Amino acid sequence: MDNLVAIAGIGLTPLRPVSPDLSFRELVFEAATRAYADAGVDPRDVDGVVTVAEDLHEGTSITDEYTPDQLGAVLKPVQTVAGDGLQGLAAACLLIRSGAADVVVVEAHSKASNVLEHEEVLAMALDPTYERPWGLDPHAVAALEMRRYLHEAGVPERAVAEVVVANRRRALRNPFAAYGADLTVEQVLTDTVVADPLRAAMVSQTADGAVVLVLAAPETARALRGRPVMVRGIGWASDEPSLSGRPWAEATYAHLAAAMAYRDAGLRAPGREVDLFEVDDTYAHKQLQHLEAALGLPPGGALREGAALAAADRVNASGGHLGMGYGYDASALVRVAVTALQVRGEAGPMQVPGVRTAVVLSWRGVPTTTGGAVVLGAA
């Protein structure tokens, strides 16, 4: 039990397609205020802060310069992880597990509406020598992957469209979601082609928002006001960065990250022991791939063995990125926040009954092969 970390406070702003009335600092201030109030923590008592940000998403170089003030963290040990929300969560957990800190705040935000050409920014993540000269639209990378996945897994396009319909519909019950909608499979399958076979409705749309979590060592968390949720295990991993060398049908990074988190949590049979899976669905087919990783299944397993889970609302009850909106690296931490609410039984209309153990599985998006996994449990 020594290696447990508690989520002692949760602060999340509702995600929105645009937020012209608020700067990112104001969004973060709002989330931080909620998190500190939820935990009953004075920001002066925080020992360390981890923020999650990438320069080119922020439009500011060395963007960690602008992190301390709105969190009440001036002259504190503040660090940034230029990575996924779950990698930021991992860095925060490490501070507590190493004994360096008792109370740590982790923050992520998205002001995606400020990014005029999302695809052009993403294209700059491709290898400058070997990959950029092709002039690829990054969504085409996802489409290539989807094509290979459908082929190897024997999954029909219709099954991918069903993911979209289900997630957008679930988001109608999620007060934090920006893209709740009642669609039909035909509407998804006849939507504009982004890059064959990827349809526009299969791509999550960007959203603005901020999330702050207050973490604490378990004994400290118990003394606080909030209702703690335990981080039972955490994992993260990266696969081959080049497009030419990576596996295309299987999310190897997600398998590695999930295995690490399960090992850390002592979780042996995720299909039986986990009540709720929140897996990345930046593109609809990724939900199937990532669910396979979370359950340790080969390509195609999500449809065969994961179908019952999905039918029972035990997969992406939040509506996922497709339903909530995609906020770059903040997305994963947003999913942790709504999942922690599920474990607390405080998820409102989207509450899944009896969630005691939940898994969040993340991906950094095209063109990366980096992802994370976390096992949350009731205190």
Partner 1 sequence: MRRRGSRRVAVIGAGLSRFVRRALETGKELSYYAAGQALESAGVRRRDVEAVVMASAPDAFDGQHMKGEYLLDGAGAYRKPYFRVYVGGGSGVFSIISGWTLVASGMFDLVLVVAEEKMSPTQPHPQAAFITIFDHTIERPLGPNLLWIFALEQTRYMQTYGIRNEEIALVSVKNKRNALGHPASQVAEAVTVEQVLASEVVAWPVHRLMVSPVSDGAAAIVLASERVARRLSPRPVWVEGIGWSLDTSYWGNRDLAYPRYVEQAARMAYAMAGITDPRREIHVVEPYDPFAYKELHHLEGLLLADRGKAAEDLVRGRFDREGALPSSPSGGLLGVGNPIAAAGLMKVCEIFWQLRGEAGPRQVPNAPRRGLAQAWGDLMQIGTVVVLGV
List interacting residues with partner 1 (CB under 8 A). 3, 47-48, 53-56, 59-62, 64-69, 73-83, 87, 90-91, 93-95, 97-102, 121-122, 124-125, 127-129, 217, 235-242, 252-253, 256-257, 260, 264, 364, 367-370
Closest approach of Cβ 129 to partner 1, in Å?
A: 7
Q: Which residues of 145-175 are buried (b: 16+ CB within 10 A; e: fewer)?
A: bbbbbbeebebebebbbbbbbbbbebbebbe
- The separation between CA 178 and the C-alpha centre of its own chain, rounded to angstroms, equals 15
Closest approach of Cβ 225 to partner 1, in Å?
A: 20
Q: Which is nearer to partner 1, 42 or 240 (CB)?
A: 240
Who's near 115: CB < 8 A, 6+ residues apart? 57, 59, 121, 206
Who's near 271: CB < 8 A, 6+ residues apart? 295, 305, 309
Could you tell me if 305 and 90 are in contact, meaning their C-beta atoms sit under 8 angstroms apart? no
Q: Which is nearer to partner 1, 75 or 116 (CB)?
A: 75
Closest to 343 in 3D by CA, of 226, 264, 258: 226
Closest approach of Cβ 299 to partner 1, in Å?
A: 18
Q: Which is nearer to partner 1, 236 or 326 (CB)?
A: 236
Q: Which is nearer to partner 1, 72 or 197 (CB)?
A: 72
Q: Which is nearer to partner 1, 61 or 192 (CB)?
A: 61
Phi first, then psi: what are they for 110, rounded to 5°? Answer: -135, 130
Which pair of structure tokens corresponds to residue 152? 């190897």
Could you tell me if 73 and 105 are in contact, meaning their C-beta atoms sit under 8 angstroms apart? yes
- Max distance between CA atoms of the chain, in angstroms, equals 57
Closest approach of Cβ 41 to partner 1, in Å?
A: 15
What Rg do the C-alpha atoms of the chain give, in angstroms? 19
H helices of 125-238, where? 138-153, 157-171, 185-189, 218-222
Q: Which is nearer to partner 1, 87 or 316 (CB)?
A: 87
Q: Which is nearer to partner 1, 74 or 116 (CB)?
A: 74
Closest approach of Cβ 35 to partner 1, in Å?
A: 19
Closest approach of Cβ 89 to partner 1, in Å?
A: 11
CA angle 34, 40, 44 (to 5 degrees): 90
Closest approach of Cβ 305 to partner 1, in Å?
A: 25
Q: Which is nearer to partner 1, 84 or 162 (CB)?
A: 84
Residue 63 DSSP one-character state: G
Closest to 339 in 3D by CA, of 327, 328, 355, 324: 355
Q: Which is nearer to partner 1, 99 or 135 (CB)?
A: 99
Closest approach of Cβ 71 to partner 1, in Å?
A: 10
Closest approach of Cβ 191 to partner 1, in Å?
A: 27
354: left (phi > 0), else alpha (psi -120 to 50), else beta?
left
